[in-house]
Amino acid sequence: MNLPPDGKSRDQVNAELDDALTKDADWMGGRIWSLVYYAGDDVAAVLRDAYSKAIFTNGLGPDAFKSLKKFESEVVAMTASLLGEPEAIGNMTSGGTESILMAVKTARDRAREEKGISEPEMVLPVSAHPAFDKSAQYLGVKAIHAPLGDDLRVDVSAMQEAITPNTVLMVGSAPNFPFGTIDPIPEIAAAASERDIPCHVDACVGGFLLPFWERLGHEVRPWDFRVPGVSSISADCHKYGYAARGASTIMYRDPAYRRYQFFAVTDWPGGLYGSPTMTGSRPGGAIAAAWACMNYLGEAGYLRLAEKIVGATKGLQDGIRATPGLKILGEPDVSLFAVGSDEFDIYVLSEALGARGWFPDRQQLPPSLHFMVTPAHAAIVDEFLTTLREAVADVREKGGKSTGAGVYGSVVGMSDRGMVRNVIMDFIDGLTREREEAK
């Protein structure tokens, strides 16, 4: 494919954009249960305004763009207060994965500098986000996974047994993505700080929701900087912070830690070059939109949205528990949860739901369907439950085995992990080729 020789008109370009975008999943209608956290048309308008006003700014140059310096430092300061330590410091990043990469790099470099550890390891729950494994691969840190207990929270004694003189970081999630359970953070943090090991809490998904859940009077297991020994927290503005994609935070209790995150080179002909996070040029639109969103919503706005989510989550969970053949795994702490069945192949239910236009994600180990509830789902609770009951009745009557589709589908039944990995690599390869062929 070549560039169009004369360029297309703005109308033509817009028409092609609209045509492509209308083929996407119906995220605004709550038909998917991950990826998009839609807070309503008013918030969307605020995000669009802020993103487009700041579209040409670049976070690489805080001196040229004093606006972004202000926006970022205010987002970080407001986040610090939400996380229970107003004095905490940090940075904005492009997303949860980058925040986690930064936490792992910081811990690795601190251990190398202060303890002479050259073969770093980290101990984390099997339910921790794959971004930690990605960080481990990228940064040369060995990841040691601890199993979960029956309550789907990490087994802290298994974590303790996995600690060695090379351990540079211990991790807990608040909550983890697959089951929505918060790990026993006080126990993990205590085990870590006893040995002068940093403890990172991954609150990418929970960081902007749990504080409001608690303010609404619900009991929330301790997870934030109020827990002694918690040294860093990742919290995504672009999840329950409702910001535009490309905005997260990585926060540290102790300013001395964050120095290990920074990168600087002094002998480049282009001049002195310093950068706090992974990215070089940083999209100012995402930073400005996160700032605008937090200021527009304020405490009251986040509380109102959290209340909506509490109601929708309860409605969905009650309805699912009352549906014969279905069960919710563990006792999820907030608005993410997994649904399984002892009676039928849950992936067959996923296909039956897909045929009716609903797309919860498929999980493995154990097989389950995944739900992440947002304000967009508040409007569809009854409609979804009606469809779910129909689909379940259908599956119970007809039974059947899943034909398997998508990555998870192909993974099911394969016991050789190397082979599974190749299937996923082939899958990504296929997607890439498909994208190329589509051009």
One residue of 97, 167, 261, 368 binding ligand PLP per CB under 6 A: 97
For residue 341, the minimal CB distance to ligand PLP (Å) is 24
| Cβ nearer to ligand PLP, comparing 68 with 100 | 100
Q: Spell out the residues 6+ positions from residue 23 whose beta carbon is closer than 8 angstroms to its own.
A: none
The stretch among 58-66, 71-79, 200-208, 296-304 that binds ligand PLP (CB under 6 A) is 200-208
Residue nearest to ligand PLP (CB): 96
| Cβ nearer to ligand PLP, comparing 178 with 198 | 178
Residue 236 binds to ligand PLP (criterion: CB under 6 A):
yes
One residue of 108, 129, 253, 377 binding ligand PLP per CB under 6 A: 129
Cα gap 263→252, rounded to integer Å: 17
Task: At 126, list the tokens.
Answer: 């099997």
**Single-letter amino acid code for the residue at 178:** P
> Using N-to-C axis directions, what is the helix angle for 284-321 and 41-53, rounded to 10°?
160
Token pair 């002068």: residue: 196
Cα gap 90→95, rounded to integer Å: 14
| Cβ nearer to ligand PLP, comparing 176 with 341 | 176
Residue 363 bridge partners (DSSP): 368
For residue 286, the minimal CB distance to ligand PLP (Å) is 11
Cα gap 321→2, rounded to integer Å: 54
The stretch among 93-101, 164-172, 188-196, 353-361 that binds ligand PLP (CB under 6 A) is 93-101
Residue 205 binds to ligand PLP (criterion: CB under 6 A):
yes
For residue 257, the minimal CB distance to ligand PLP (Å) is 20
Question: Which alpha helices (DSSP H) does 7-129 contain, by range?
Answer: 10-21, 41-53, 66-82, 96-115
Burial of 395 (0-12, 13-18, 19+ CB in 10 A): buried
Half-sphere exposure of 127 (CA within 13 A, CB side): 28
For residue 336, the minimal CB distance to ligand PLP (Å) is 8
Cα gap 277→163, rounded to integer Å: 28
Classify residue 95 as left (phi > 0), alpha (psi -120 to 50) or beta. Answer: left
For residue 247, the minimal CB distance to ligand PLP (Å) is 9
Task: At 44, list the tokens.
Answer: 């969307």
For residue 175, the minimal CB distance to ligand PLP (Å) is 7
For residue 96, the minimal CB distance to ligand PLP (Å) is 2
Task: At 100, list the tokens.
Answer: 């986690």
For residue 360, the minimal CB distance to ligand PLP (Å) is 16
Query: Site size for ligand PLP, by CB under 6 A?
Result: 13
How many residues belong to the chain? 439
Cα gap 152→179, rounded to integer Å: 7
| Cβ nearer to ligand PLP, comparing 385 with 407 | 407
3-state secondary structure of 409: helix
3-state secondary structure 145-168: EECECCCCCECHHHHHHHCCCCEE
One residue of 95, 186, 284, 360 binding ligand PLP per CB under 6 A: 95
Residue 152 binds to ligand PLP (criterion: CB under 6 A):
no
| Cβ nearer to ligand PLP, comparing 208 with 260 | 208
Residue 204 binds to ligand PLP (criterion: CB under 6 A):
yes
One residue of 88, 102, 131, 210 binding ligand PLP per CB under 6 A: 131
In 3D, which of 260, 277, 239 has the Cα closest to residue 375? 239
Residue 155 binds to ligand PLP (criterion: CB under 6 A):
no
Kindly identify the residues of this chain, within the stretch 170-199, that bind ligand PLP according to CB under 6 A. 173, 176-177
| Cβ nearer to ligand PLP, comparing 236 with 333 | 236
Residue 96 binds to ligand PLP (criterion: CB under 6 A):
yes
| Cβ nearer to ligand PLP, comparing 90 with 95 | 95
Residue 181 DSSP code: P
- Pairing type for strands 336-340 and 327-328 reads antiparallel
Residue 145 binds to ligand PLP (criterion: CB under 6 A):
no
| Cβ nearer to ligand PLP, comparing 172 with 186 | 172
Residue 328 binds to ligand PLP (criterion: CB under 6 A):
no
3-state secondary structure 296-330: HHHHHHHHHHHHHHHHHHHHHHHHHHCCCCCEECC
Token pair 């930064």: residue: 102
Residue 202 binds to ligand PLP (criterion: CB under 6 A):
yes
Residue 127 binds to ligand PLP (criterion: CB under 6 A):
no
The stretch among 138-146, 169-177, 253-261, 418-426 that binds ligand PLP (CB under 6 A) is 169-177
For residue 5, the minimal CB distance to ligand PLP (Å) is 38
Q: Spell out the residues 6+ positions from residue 145 whose beta carbon is closer than 8 angstroms to its own.
A: 124, 125, 126, 128
Task: Note the residues at the interface with ligand PLP (CB under 6 A).
Answer: 95-97, 129, 131, 173, 176-177, 202, 204-205, 236, 248
